[in-house]
Structure 1
């Protein structure tokens, strides 16, 4: 490679790096502005001009969000529903993926095609059906109503099936010869061989359940049963909008997901790559 070519590559790399940096700044600026605003007094938030940092530092907005709202209860509701969704989705998806991959039963191929077809239907298109069904079952305004419709996870089933298909048949035959049941095969052989995938799917499922807003917003009307993403919409004031208070509630609502992502970034990336591989 000639010196001129190297210079061209360096110039192209510099341009790409600069554009990437500008894109990152453009993306992160609203988050930065929201966090900075939470440490301002309300009168400083609405004053003229732009203050890149708080003129007077305060944690009043966070104090109000933590002690003058039901944020703790909303956290608990979100934690319960998100954990329930994560556990049930993983168990049902692993069982369905194992059955379709390893068992022969009538309607196996039809079931697989139904799962593939359901993957092509966007979940928001089913909102009305979910609402009518939960109303008919008398489950509206309960945490059960929040959980049940979110158990539809065809992508997770497809990922498990693909992995189970790749497991050598010799392992299964050896376990069957030792008298293992199908449940033992699933939980003692197949799942332990892919704890990495299961962990990645668990993290991304939990994050998705925690961040979900539309369905919990429709299914729950009682403030005590709201999850945190819906509950923070109730942080209002009789004397007008309080930007710092509302933004502090939003920051606290998103904080657990941000912590989970930072701690398990590699697993989240793995899950996204697995999902993208299925969609591809």
Structure 2
């Protein structure tokens, strides 16, 4: 037998399993699971996204085409006049400004309060701090509706009823923000704090120069969620506010709904406008939203 035939037979015996292994790798059970999972995710994405797409496209339809039969996804005539009417009607720009002020101030104060509280609960060992942490944790076990009445009485007795401050103050300290910062600061080695103390750094200096810079990702994540919570808040502003000039955006949208009829064109356009800040916020900071490591069961 020649050396050439021996090499050919050896190559055939060696090469055949490689081809089979490659086929198994490409068309194996793992590939089937990947395709089925991807298909399922696409179905879920379409199920969630289609109503939103329909909602946004309907805002460009004239009022007469919203309930015309047969229903169409795309507008027959693109109408932008509804956005101008929505912005100029029902004092909408004032609602938008009030909501922006409440969301920005509450978010900033929530970050400061949650960062300080989370650091104290993580790095200081005191029985009163442990009791305070249990109280904060207990608030997550009660429905929000249970705490509305006592919170309203406190706000009324403090003289904050019918003011934007009455919305901001009760929303500053949230259990979610405290637990986020506490969980993060627990991962920071205590040796880092002890080394700073040995070098002569004071407690405030350790907090502001070491801990706060390390917690910037958590701050940004909490800022995104806090802004979203306050922007979409409806029940608490509805209880606290009585003056129409101080209404927030969600109450303003509800005021568009009349007792006898509903101007659907203006309502849809105003709702789309109210979504724009949150969409912009998500587009620019979506990586922090996707990487947020918090318990979805916690309340805001």
TM-score normalised per structure 1:
0.89
The equivalent residue for 2:174 is 153
CA distance in 2, matches of 1:125, 1:114: 15
- What is the CA distance between 1:27 and its match in structure 2? 1.2
Instruction: Supply the distance in 2 between the matched residues of 1:13 and 1:104 (Cα, whole angstroms).
Output: 48
Say which of 176, 182, 199 aligns to 2:220: 199
Q: Report matched runs for 1:19-58 at 5 Å.
A: 19-58=40-79
The answer on 1:169 being equivalent to 2:190 is yes
User: 1:275 maps to which residue?
Assistant: 295
Match of 1:211 among 224, 232, 247: 232
Deviates more, 1:44-53 or 1:232-241: 232-241
After TM superposition, the structure 1 stretch with the greater mean CA deviation from structure 2, 233-242 or 1-10, is: 1-10
Matching of residue 82 in structure 1 with residue 107 in structure 2: no
Distance 2:235 2:272 in 1: 19
User: Match of 2:10?
Assistant: none
Offset from partner CA, 1:136-158 (integer Å, 9 cap, x none) = 22322110111122123112212
Q: Displacement of 1:3 after TM fit? A: 3.8
Q: How many Å apart are 1:106 and its aligned residue?
A: 5.0
Aligned residues of 2:114 and 2:178 also touching (Cα < 8 A): yes
* Mapped partners of 2:248, 2:141: distance in 1: 28
The 3 A distance-change label for structure 1 pair 161 and 8 is closer
The aligned residue for residue 119 of structure 1 is 140
Indicate yes or no: 2:214 matched with 1:186: no
Aligned residue for 1:241, secondary structure, equals coil
Q: State the Cα distance separating 1:192 from its structure 2 match.
A: 0.7
SS in 2 for 1:69: coil
Structure 1 residue 169, shift from structure 2 partner: 2.6
Equivalent residue pairs, number:
278
Compute the displacement of 1:108 (Å): 2.2
TM-fit CA distance, 1:278: 8.1
CA distance in 2, matches of 1:131, 1:237: 27
Q: Deviations over 1:109-128 (max 9, x none)?
A: 21222222223223232112
Task: Verify the 8 A CA contact 1:134 1:145 in the aligned structure 2.
Answer: yes
SS of equivalent residue, structure 2 residue 73: coil
Distance 1:14 1:162, change over 3 A: closer
Post-superposition CA distance 1:176-203 (Å, at most 9, x none): 2344332222111111112111111111
Unpaired runs of 5+ residues, structure 2, are 1-20
Task: Please tell me whether Structure 1 or Structure 2 has the larger radius of gyration of its CA atoms.
Answer: 2
CA distance in 2, matches of 1:84, 1:53: 39
SS at 1:49 equivalent: coil
The answer to whether the 8 A contact 1:158-1:278 is kept is no
Q: Which residue of 1 aligns with 2:270?
A: 249
Query: Residue 61 of structure 1: CA displacement?
Result: 0.9
Per the alignment, in what secondary structure is the counterpart of residue 107 of structure 1? helix
Gaps of 5+ in 1: none
Inter-partner Cα distance in structure 1 for 2:69 and 2:145: 41
Distance in 2 separating the partners of 1:121 and 1:194: 29
| Coordinate RMSD, CA, aligned | 2.4
Correspondence 1:71 to 2:92: yes
How many angstroms apart in 1 are the aligned matches of 2:297 and 2:164? 33
How far off its partner does 1:238 sit? Answer: 8.4
- Alpha-carbon distance in 1 for matches of 2:182, 2:243: 39
